Amino acid sequence: MKAAHLPSQRAPGARLLVVDSAGGLRHTSRSRLADFLNPGDVLVANDAATLPASLSGVHSRTGRAIEVRLAGRRSLAVDDVRDFTAVVFGAGDYRTRTEDRPSPPALQAGDVLVLGPLRAIVLRLQGHPRLVSLRFEGDVDAIWAGIARHGRPIQYAHVQPPLALWDVWTRVAALPVAFEPPSAGFVLDWSLLSALKARGVVFETLTHAAGISSTGDDELDARLPLDEPYDVPQATVRAIESASERGGRVVALGTTVTRALEHAGSNGPLRAGSGVADQRLGPGTQLNVVDAIISGTHEPGTSHYELLRAFAGDGVLRHAAQEMERAGYLTHEFGDTVLIEAAFSRLPKAAGPVARRHDPEEQIA
Cβ count within 10 A of residue 364: 9
| CB within 8 Å of 179: residues ≥ 6 apart | 50, 51, 53, 69, 70, 71, 72, 154, 209, 210, 211, 212
How would you class 126 by CB atoms within 10 Å of its CB: exposed for 0-12, middle for 13-18, buried for 19 or more? middle
pTM: 0.92
Cis peptide bond N-terminal to 225, omega within 30: yes
**What is the phi-psi region of residue 334: left when phi exceeds 0, alpha when psi lies from -120 to 50, beta otherwise?**
alpha
* Element at 36 (helix H, strand E): none
Q: How far is CA 47 from CA 181, 184, 256, 322, in A?
A: 10, 11, 11, 32
- Distance in angstroms (rounded) separating the CA atoms of residues 191 and 258: 24
Question: Which of helix, strand or coil describes residue 144?
Answer: helix
Question: Which of helix, strand or coil describes residue 46?
Answer: strand
Domains 2-49+162-351 and 53-150 share a fold: no
Domain ranges of the chain: 2-49+162-351, 53-150
Would you write out the chain's pLDDT as a tens digit for each of its 365 residues? 687 787 777 788 899 999 999 999 999 999 999 999 999 999 999 999 999 999 999 999 999 999 999 999 999 999 999 999 999 999 999 999 999 999 999 999 999 999 999 999 999 999 999 999 999 999 999 999 999 999 999 999 999 899 999 999 999 999 999 999 999 999 999 999 999 999 999 999 999 999 999 999 999 999 999 999 999 999 999 999 999 999 999 999 999 999 999 999 998 999 999 999 999 999 999 999 999 999 998 878 788 899 999 999 999 999 999 999 999 999 888 899 999 999 865 544 443 444 343 454 567 66
- Whether the CB-CB separation of 100 and 50 falls below 8 Å is answered with no
- Measured between alpha carbons, how far apart are the two ends of the chain, in Å? 17
Check if CATH label 3.40.50.300 holds for domain 2-49+162-351: no
pLDDT at 338: 97
Q: Which residue from 122, 23, 133, 125 is spatially nearest to 73, judged by alpha carbons?
A: 133
- Distance in angstroms (rounded) separating the CA atoms of residues 60 and 68: 13
Q: Which fold has domain 53-150?
A: Thrombin, subunit H (2.40.10)
Backbone CA torsion sign across 305, 311, 315, 319: negative
pLDDT at 346: 52
- Distance in angstroms (rounded) separating the CA atoms of residues 207 and 233: 8
Instruction: Say how far residue 310 (Cα) sits from the centre of its chain.
Output: 16
pLDDT at 354: 41
